[in-house]
Amino acid sequence: MAHLPSIQIGPFTRAQGSIVLPGSKSISNRVLLLAALSSGTSTLKNLLDADDTQVMRNALRQLGLSVTDKENNVCVVQGCSGKFPVRDADLFMGNAGTAIRPLTAALAMQGGNYRLSGVARMHERPIRDLVDGLRQVGAKIEYELQEGYPPIQISAADIHIKDVVKVRGDVSSQFLTALLMALPLLAIEPVRIEVVGELISRPYIDITLKLMARFGVKVSCPDSQSFVIPANTSGLIYQSPGELSVEGDASSASYFLALGAIGSGPVRVLGVGKDSIQGDVAFADALALMGAKITAGEDWIEVAGVQNASGKLNGITIDCTEIPDAAMTLAVAALFAEGPTRLNNIASWRVKETDRIAAMATELKKVGATVEEGPDYIVIQAPASQSEWKSPSEGIDTYDDHRMAMCFSLAAFGPHALTINDPNCVAKTFPTYFAEFAKVVS
């Protein structure tokens, strides 16, 4: 897509067709790092080609690894057996949380000196809980500007991993993911990680554990708050599985599944299904609660309109702890529902690419919705009639947040054409989103 300050889409009345999903961002960045840390060569298939994964690839190359992009979203990574060749580097991590957090933990185990920075918004996204966890094992990490936030400086230090490492789990599950992936590198004895307080986004931790097992490290979970990493007695803790195929992105699937409900369908997504390891496939269950007709196979999900006589979705109240990203799609789908939709336990939205609760409330009001926002919830009531829908002349702002742009494409099924500002922000995870969207709407 050429660089566009804005695009106008809609109004649409029908969505129909199928979409082959890009690779999962969460899986792609995890397997890139695991492949880099392992012994052997890994061929990664259906790897997401987007800004966030290019950030990780470029950082690994700066650290001395061979990371070769090939045709058809295949990437070949030569592992370094846990030791990065480069011990002094200044790494720019963009706004990729799935890259900066696990890489910070892995770098703290290296005995080198590294600086990690990003775009302005990255310097507003918290990293304190991860740094606190790493400091417990002797890591030397300093904040360059604001306490608790990047940029950070990692200095060479002697790591002494204790039998118990504690980390908070109520801000981001990525902090726990980072520790789980990094601590096996120097775990001479078994290491226990204990989560303090609530652990949000648990399905993302399950992705981490399943992928670590593919690379030879099986973490045990004696209870819901504890994780035990096995001892690394050989020094070669991660071993390449040879080839690994990345699932389609379940978060990206949510927009097309919602289209299948709002636009009568059928719309089928290919590359993710009922056997997915991603928690965001539960979005389909939430859509079913709203009245959508859903069927699924091993690697596909299809939505064919709604079951209600009115042809409209139902408003619901739902706990979104386990689907924080896909829950954003529910907020815009609520524009086409009868009755209010309340999304609970979404505090993590506040520390994402933008303050997503505030941004979502502002933009939904622009098209005529009634919105109530709280510290960890949002309530959306659709416009009461077609005449109450608004067509904002200033367009929908996207806040340099890919999910805001993709979510609000659904609002083009209202009675007015819609202008979306800075549509290119979708390059973070789905560069071809609007081209794929155009193929299934009319």
Residue spans of the domains in the chain: they are 6-22+248-440, 25-232
pLDDT for 143 equals 98
Q: What is the pLDDT of residues 267-316, one digit of tens each?
A: 999 999 998 999 999 999 999 999 999 999 999 999 999 998 888 999 99
Q: Which of 51, 129, 280, 325 is catalytic?
A: 325
* Architecture (CATH level 2) of domain 6-22+248-440: Alpha-beta prism (3.65)
pLDDT for 163 equals 79
- Counted residue by residue, the chain has a size of 442
Q: Calculate the CA 53 to chain-centre distance.
A: 11
Q: What is the pLDDT of residues 102-151, one digit of tens each?
A: 999 999 999 999 999 999 999 999 999 999 999 999 999 999 999 999 99
Q: Are 24 and 250 in contact (CB under 8 A)?
A: yes
pLDDT for 259 equals 98
pLDDT < 70 stretches in the chain: 1-3
Query: Residue 306 phi/psi, 5° resolution?
Result: -125, 160
Decide if 69 is catalytic: no
The reply to whether domains 6-22+248-440 and 25-232 share a CATH topology is: yes
- Name the class of domain 25-232: alpha beta
Locate 48 and state its tokens: 């997401």
Report how far residue 37's alpha carbon sits from residue 56's, in angstroms, rounded to the nearest whole number.
13
pLDDT for 2 equals 55
279, 252, 429, 118: CA torsion to nearest 10: -50
Q: Is 362 exposed, middle or buried (0-12, 13-18, 19+ CB in 10 A)?
A: middle
Secondary structure (3-state) at 94: coil
pLDDT for 428 equals 95
> What 8-state DSSP symbol labels residue 354?
S
pLDDT for 33 equals 98
Q: What is the pLDDT of residues 187-210, one digit of tens each?
A: 999 999 999 999 999 999 999 999
Provide DSSP, 165-182: EEEE-SS-THHHHHHHHH
Secondary structure (3-state) at 189: coil
Q: Calculate the CA 57 to chain-centre distance.
A: 17
108, 109, 111, 113: CA torsion to nearest 10: -20
